Structure 1
Amino acid sequence: MSVPDLNLLHTLDVLLSEGSVVSAARKLRLSPSAMSRALARLRIVTGDELLVRAGRGLVPTPRASEMREKVRLLVEDAQALLRPSSGLNLSALARAFTLRTSDGIIETFGPSLVRRVHEEAPGVELRFVRKLDKNSRGLRDGTIDLETGVVDEAIGPEIRSRALFVDRYVGVVHADHPLSRAPVTAVDYASWSHVVAWREGMNLGDIDRILGELSLSRTIMTTVDGFSAALALARGSDLIATVPEKHTRALRGGMHTFSIPFPLREFTVSLLWHPRLDGDQGHRWLREVVRDACA
């Protein structure tokens, strides 16, 4: 039985990730013709077309879609296995890390994070993925290296965590909104219509329950799936957006921010990762860089 060329795994990973022969060739520093030959070899080895023409681009076949994450995990496991166990050389580190985080975190803390990573490890690529739920499946299967979030029962019990910062919810309106002219009361807060950033598992500190205890209720005019969208709507209308204060700092420029006029509990935003990466030196370094960026 012939031994398969395992070098093709890395080529396949990049091809499936990029979905383009030209882009994959550029990333692997190959000519498009060399990459086309590599794709032809992969088609013979796998017995599948892998990428097929659709209009002016290429789309993966069903088998390629099924293989994508498995191939990525195999490549990452191989890289980890062959990585030296000591003496991390950041200047020579060539690796991609995927971080899943909610909108606002990237805009507020991303610039300092990217700047330091580029200075210390220019060969490292950061891939940011938007977080729309609390499912920790990506940490378990290795498609996500790091994640930010509030630790609760929705997070897998085996997931490691480290606190990044304590945050609280604030109200935000456009700069000329009537609520920007005087201290906001609970009645004021409930009297105006709201835009709410909501996704599964989010309760915004039980705001509506607390308003009910005060014999008040608010009108939710629209719901969006992220804080950035909520702030954009509040910026262009009279709606109130309620968002975390610290990690939306970079998104609230030119707007009026006020404290929620009734007691809301603060919450801790943590860094999350799978325990299999505890001892990985590159991952450990990145955890420290993220923590410093958010400090």
Structure 2
Amino acid sequence: MNSPDTAASALDANLAVALDALLAEHSVTRAAARLQTSPAAMSRTLARLRRTLQDPLLVRAGQTMVPTPRAQALREEAAAVVQRLGALLSPDTGVDPATLRSTFTLQAADLVGAALAPGLLRLAEQEAPGVSFRLRAEELEAGPALRDGRIDLEVGSIDHVDPETRVEELVSLRMVAAVRPGHPLTEGALTPTRLAAADHVAVSRRGRFTGPLDTALARQDLRRRVSVVLPSHLAAMALAARSDIVCLVPAALPGAAASPLTGDAVALGLHLLDMPVELPPLTVGMAWHPRHAADRAHHWLRNAVRRTLAPGQGPGRGTGQGPGQARAADH
């Protein structure tokens, strides 16, 4: 049975580094200089190695020291172990996206997913052709799903995160009314009364008929009629394009660059009207579990999402718990 000193020495990585230096230099003095320690300390380390390996390792031959057969047999293995230790304990300095072979799973509402997919695919084709994406609807509770790895990133209005979840805000948008060309609301000034009198579609995964617009109208003693509730923003916009239904969609703030989140509304030919009442802005962000914070592949993913939804902007300010922003679109 090994002595306590022998067992402890066998687990000391510094001994492997010292052994490599001693076998490379064949000198206590030169090995000490190589590791920037004193000859006396290196001599004590050599004594520990001899006890651990039960071999003298280096023996004097005149004015020099020569390795024993056991030391010669250990030379290449010791060097390889030290090299692996160096790689293991070195910081991850980066990853070449072109070498990535990964599938990333993102959870996002359909409007966000539709805006994300083209940009992510374009960036992957240019930089990381081995990367693929799986986009899931907002069907999982994000905190546990991020924690157990079922999703790599949540993108959208982040309002339900765990305390440890990392959150970065990407872009703030304003809500506007989207209607078909020729809709009665496109003629003349849009007033709160005219907006409330129109038929509306609400977007809610939970089937809710009310949202921030109802709160804003109620301040003016007005109430709108919601004719239908749909779970999908894209379905709501398609309905608005073929009827007199009014749909709320996000648009860029005044003076800001156009947002890819409004691309589908434009593609459907919808006419966008500024709201005559004040609504809270929609903040779109991304959330991830801290175990991915230093992962270089995940860093590429986050940067790709950032470049897609907030082109020209640096990393967002938020890195802690989400601030409880409004849900996308109506609620």
Q: Normalization by structure 2: what TM-score?
A: 0.60
- Per-residue CA distance 1:45-89 (angstroms, 9 max, x = gap): xxxxxxxxxxxxxxxxxxxxxxxxxxxxxxxxxxxx9xx944412
> Which position in structure 1 is the counterpart of 2:290?
275
- Per-residue CA distance 1:198-244 (angstroms, 9 max, x = gap): 12498986211221110100011000002111111111111101122
- 1:1-295 aligned at under 5 Å gives the runs 85-132=92-139, 135-152=142-159, 154-200=160-206, 206-245=212-251, 246=259, 248-253=261-266, 254-295=269-310
Separation of aligned partners in 1, 2:248 and 2:223: 15
1:192, CA displacement in angstroms?
A: 0.7
Separation of aligned partners in 2, 1:132 and 1:172: 26
Inter-CA distance 272–122: structure 2 relative to 1 (3 Å threshold): same
Separation of aligned partners in 1, 2:260 and 2:233: 10
> Which position in structure 1 is the counterpart of 2:16?
none
Name structure 2 gaps, 5 residues minimum. 1-87, 252-258, 311-331
Inter-CA distance 137–183: structure 2 relative to 1 (3 Å threshold): farther
Q: Contact between 2:208 and 2:229, CA under 8 Å: does it hold in 1?
A: no
Matched to 1:166, the amino acid is S
Separation of aligned partners in 2, 1:241 and 1:117: 33
Q: Contact between 2:207 and 2:230, CA under 8 Å: does it hold in 1?
A: no
Matched to 2:180, the amino acid is H
Of all paired residues, the percent bearing the same amino acid is 35
C-alpha root-mean-square deviation of aligned residues, in Å?
2.3
> Which position in structure 1 is the counterpart of 2:44?
none
For the pair shown, the structure with the greater C-alpha radius of gyration is 2
- Count residues with an aligned counterpart: 212
Inter-CA distance 150–118: structure 2 relative to 1 (3 Å threshold): same
Inter-CA distance 93–202: structure 2 relative to 1 (3 Å threshold): farther
Q: Normalization by structure 1: what TM-score?
A: 0.67
Separation of aligned partners in 2, 1:100 and 1:206: 24
Separation of aligned partners in 1, 2:169 and 2:192: 31
Q: Contact between 1:227 and 1:248, CA under 8 Å: does it hold in 2?
A: no
1:136, CA displacement in angstroms?
A: 2.5
1:134, CA displacement in angstroms?
A: 5.8
